[in-house]
């Protein structure tokens, strides 16, 4: 005899556990007045260089920590530690993204009472990190000039969820077939609210605009934590 | 690309609900997944078969319904579906504005399960 087949309604978000934990992380950070920034890019886009530049510019103003997500090495964490800021290395062993539970683990290793800004260097990839809320206050992505101006067409989700796009390696513009206006059109089309800064971590061009934006956002955030 | 992590969550949610409902076996799982998420159906099923071994959901079929990417126009407030594979520029189908925001296409949820 056939057993009775039943249908059970679930209607549950597959990523709800991650979202809930990300909200809890934001709550904890708010109590400690810590600003969490999630930095995403392709491999070689300039995440580590941007972190190093940002630390150099802001380490006398804010107490900074870094969470390094990397597949299986500590090279980036070592480069960041040389700048004199605490860095926690997450070894994700092949994972393609960082999620809230990994960030939660990393934050437990950090002295939140003595930090103002924590930067997450997410796994180098424009696909998966866009899906997973890390608990960050702001999401920032880097697109480097050699990658091409067509990337918003290929990775629309990443461009849709970010608060800031940093177009890095503009020192390559003269040798690259890269249409900056076409890029900006494509990005604003997907995300009209995004801020775009054009920078070069190598020459330092444009970095001050980024630092000004970050400082303003941090001040707004820290003021809002006090209320 | 991150089918494994997502499939793990699906399995744990399904097992939780199955246990609550005194289920003997889960036959199928119906999912609704937005077109904007980069998941490959075949790989989700393969990972699921691997992860679900020796659980009450072993071998359950994943029925995946794709929900379209929908944008809303900032100028006229109307919504319209977009096929991202063919689109160069996203233009409001009602008023031709290019000021648009994403409203759906990122869904990721379990609708129901078929059980005995």
Residue A59 burial (10 A CB sphere; 0-12, 13-18, 19+): middle
- Looking at residue B68, the DSSP 8-state letter turns out to be P
Residue of A10, A13, A189 with shortest CB distance to B108 = A13
pLDDT (mean) for A136-159:
95
Give how far A187 is from chain B: nearest CA, Å. Answer: 10
Is the CB of A222 inside 8 Å of chain B's CB atoms? no
pLDDT at A70: 64
Residues A161-210: pLDDT tens digits?
999 999 999 999 999 899 999 999 999 999 999 999 999 999 999 999 99
Q: Which residue has the tokens 């199955």?
A: B18
pLDDT (mean) for B57-74:
93
pLDDT at B89: 81
Query: Does the structure show a pLDDT above 90 at A221?
Result: yes
Give how far A11 is from chain B: nearest CA, Å. Answer: 4
Residues of B in contact with A191 (CB under 8 A): 101-102
Query: Does the structure show a pLDDT above 80 at A120?
Result: yes
pLDDT at A213: 98
Closest CA relative to residue A118, chosen from A61, A37, A22: A37
Give how far A24 is from chain B: nearest CA, Å. Answer: 19
Considering only CA atoms, give the Rg of chain A: 19
Residues A38-48: pLDDT tens digits?
999 999 999 99
Residues of A in contact with B56 (CB under 8 A): none
Query: Does the structure show a pLDDT above 90 at A78?
Result: no
Query: Does the structure show a pLDDT above 80 at A7?
Result: yes
Count chain A–chain B contacts defined by CB atoms under 8 A: 103
* Cβ–Cβ gap B114/A5 under 8 Å: yes
* Between residues A224 and A92, the one the model is more confident about: A224
pLDDT at A92: 73
Token output for A81: 């530690």
Q: What is the interface pTM, i.e. ipTM, of the complex? A: 0.83
Q: How many CB atoms lie within 10 A of CB A220?
A: 11
């Amino acid at each position: 005899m056939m057993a009775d087949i039943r249908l059970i309604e679930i209607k549950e978000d597959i990523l709800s556990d991650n979202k809930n934990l990300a909200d809890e992380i934001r709550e904890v950070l708010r109590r400690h007045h810590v600003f969490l920034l999630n930095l995403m890019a392709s491999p070689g886009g300039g995440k580590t260089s941007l972190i190093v530049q940002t630390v150099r510019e802001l380490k006398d103003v804010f107490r900074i920590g870094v969470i390094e997500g990397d597949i299986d090495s500590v090279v980036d964490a070592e480069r960041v530690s040389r700048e004199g800021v605490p860095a926690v290395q997450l070894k994700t062993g092949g994972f393609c993204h960082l999620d809230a539970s990994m960030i939660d683990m990393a934050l437990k290793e950090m002295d939140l009472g003595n930090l103002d800004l924590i930067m997450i260097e997410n796994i180098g990839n424009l696909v998966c990190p866009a899906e997973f809320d890390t608990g960050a206050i702001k999401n920032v992505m880097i697109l480097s000039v050699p990658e091409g101006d067509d990337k918003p067409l290929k990775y629309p989700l990443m461009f849709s969820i970010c608060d800031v796009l940093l177009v890095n390696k503009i020192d390559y513009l003269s040798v690259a077939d890269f249409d900056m206006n076409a890029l900006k059109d494509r990005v604003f089309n997907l995300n009209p609210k995004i801020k775009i800064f054009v920078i070069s971590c190598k020459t330092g061009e444009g970095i001050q605009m980024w630092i000004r934006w970050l400082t303003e956002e941090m001040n707004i955030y820290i003021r809002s934590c006090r209320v | 690309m991150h089918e494994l992590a997502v499939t793990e969550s699906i399995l744990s949610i399904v097992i939780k609900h199955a246990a609550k409902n005194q289920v003997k076996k889960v036959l199928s799982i119906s999912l609704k997944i937005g077109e904007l998420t980069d998941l490959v159906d075949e790989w989700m099923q393969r990972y699921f078969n691997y992860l679900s071994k020796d659980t009450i959901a072993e071998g359950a079929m994943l029925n995946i319904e794709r929900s379209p990417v929908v944008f809303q126009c900032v100028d006229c407030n109307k919504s319209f579906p977009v096929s991202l594979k063919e689109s160069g520029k996203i233009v409001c189908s009602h008023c031709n504005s290019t000021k648009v925001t994403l409203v759906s296409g990122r869904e990721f949820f379990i609708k129901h399960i078929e059980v005995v």
